[in-house]
Structure 1
Amino acid sequence: MPAIHAAEAGASLRVISKRELASLRYELDEVLQVVQGAYRAVAEGRSANPAKLTVKPPDGRCVAYAMLGRDGDRGTVAVKTSYKHGPEGDKADQRYYTTLSLYDEHTGLPIALMDCSLVGSLRTPAASALIAQACARPGASTALVVGCGVQGTMALPFLVRRLPGLQRLIVHGHHVAGIDAVLSAMHQHHPGRQVEVSHDLRRAAQEADIVVGAAGPASPEAVDASWLRPGALCILVGYGIDRQALHRADWRVATSAEQMQVTGTDLAVDGVLPAINAELPQILVGTQPGRRDDHHRVFAYNSGMVVTDIALGRLMAERALAQGLGREVALW
């Protein structure tokens, strides 16, 4: 029998926009479950997450990433691309685009081409919450988020979902609109929980059991390693925590040690990154510990793995398709 090409089978591509995806409803728990399941599938060998590719011109005016992966649990193969122009400049002048192309390996047909910003804004803070649950010292009661941009907005809601015993929630940022977004997100997902707005980063860091660095590259402040209390957990998502916190840590965790070698080069000292002690997928299945001692200072590098984008992207794409969102394009 001759091979049937996609065009002969009537295949088309559903393109789903950022605006359409923003209208979807989701629960924090289902996001956490999907992301956790994706990490576990990697650890158990059911999914594949190759290292990302990076291209960047010598003058640093832009940076692009490409990530291929396979979610074995959902039979989904996908490619994520990410492009940022002006990464070191003023935020108002930056241009950022990210997409996810999903394919069903059972039918051999494309599922969707979709904007990936919603998925990214959810899977990263969800991963931070999973890290905190696994790596924070017992009895952790105070969490500080440094930064109030896209990644900082949802950090506290996800943290509280996995660590309901947190008593003090603190945000430190420099943009009024961003602070308002953090407070609004907490009110939406955890009505009645209060968030303190810090104006003294050093004091807030000294009192925190969990510090999430989710600031942008232009952030004027960073948590110094000497400010961290014994037993503190640092989770670096973007910026806002000095690299010495990694080098002086008693225990080091990464979502992917291999990926950290690609995206974490700015943390190196004299070109060297210290060895990672444990990776999140293995921690979640119990083959590696999240920490060794309650008094150890733990540093975790959360770089996001494409398998989590794929798993969450498939969920969002199916929800959008069920609602008739998107536009069919006869690409083939």
Structure 2
Amino acid sequence: MATEIEIQLQTLEQEAQSAIAHSDNLKKLEELRVAYLGKKGELSLILKGMGKLAPEMRPVIGAVANQIKEKIQDSLSQQQETLQKQQIQAQIASETIDVTMPGVSKPLGKSHPLQSTIDRVIDIFVGLGYTVAQGPQIESDYYNFEALNTPPEHPARDMQDTFYFGDGSLLRTHTSSVQIRYMEQNEPPIRIIAPGRVYRRDTVDATHSAVFHQIEVLAIGKNLTFTDLKGTIKEFLRQMFGDDLPTVFRASYFPFTEPSAEVDVQWQGKWLEVMGCGMVDPNVLKAVGYDPEEYSGFAAGLGVERFAMILHKIDDIRRLYNSDLRFLNQF
């Protein structure tokens, strides 16, 4: 019986040494360790038969089993060290950088001319003490029209025909709706600008788009007058165009301001309409819970595309949306 166990142990050692020598990764090596030396491994299974040995033979077989176990453990450790070194060498080889190879060019990104124009306007007004306000692009009829003194059937709605959803909501036609939401949640004095994308049903051509960008300005406080509005607009235009340009305020009409005006500037020998503005209509102040006897204010709005086209001498608004790198790389 002792001879049979010794033969089993010797066979186990030979098989284990061969399997360890041929293992090519650390995962497989760990599986071999568990298979041969684990609690339920082959060595443990063989040693369960020691109970049938004569008492004087058990120490002898135990010593042989311990020697075999140590040899297998040594082989496992050596093979583990070898495989780890091979793994490190392979990683080093795969991550080696050939400094003689040409570099991969990753050109720096640039701001889109629309975004750079928005940023420029924001910087100017923030410097004048204004903060930026945001609002949803999908609006209710109330915030987009009614609260801005444009009730249903008002003729001014024809100029701002937009895209409606089945539930009565719509894509906002201006960022004036942001002003209403902000005034509902804040008490005067207020100084905000509201940049964002707006939508109107319009025929797309060189100067018109159904989707465009707008920035609106709002100031509410005590004793604000049209003189304050003119001074603010003139300073903004001076900083925007880098010069004290000739400016004209032409009487106009907007349902949410009274009096209202269009702003023209003389730019490169031509008169250009660049903004609309006016004093906030008392009905708008009442809609947000302000007392028009105590507070007054002014508002102004500009189309970002119009300013970008003027500043960069762009002849067609559609160039701003076509994502043509030959065009965009100029900025």
Q: TM-score range by the shorter chain?
A: under 0.3
TM-score (normalizing by structure 1): 0.23
TM-score (normalizing by structure 2): 0.23
Larger Rg: 2
Relative contact order (alpha carbons < 8 A, sep ≥ 6): 1 or 2 greater? 1
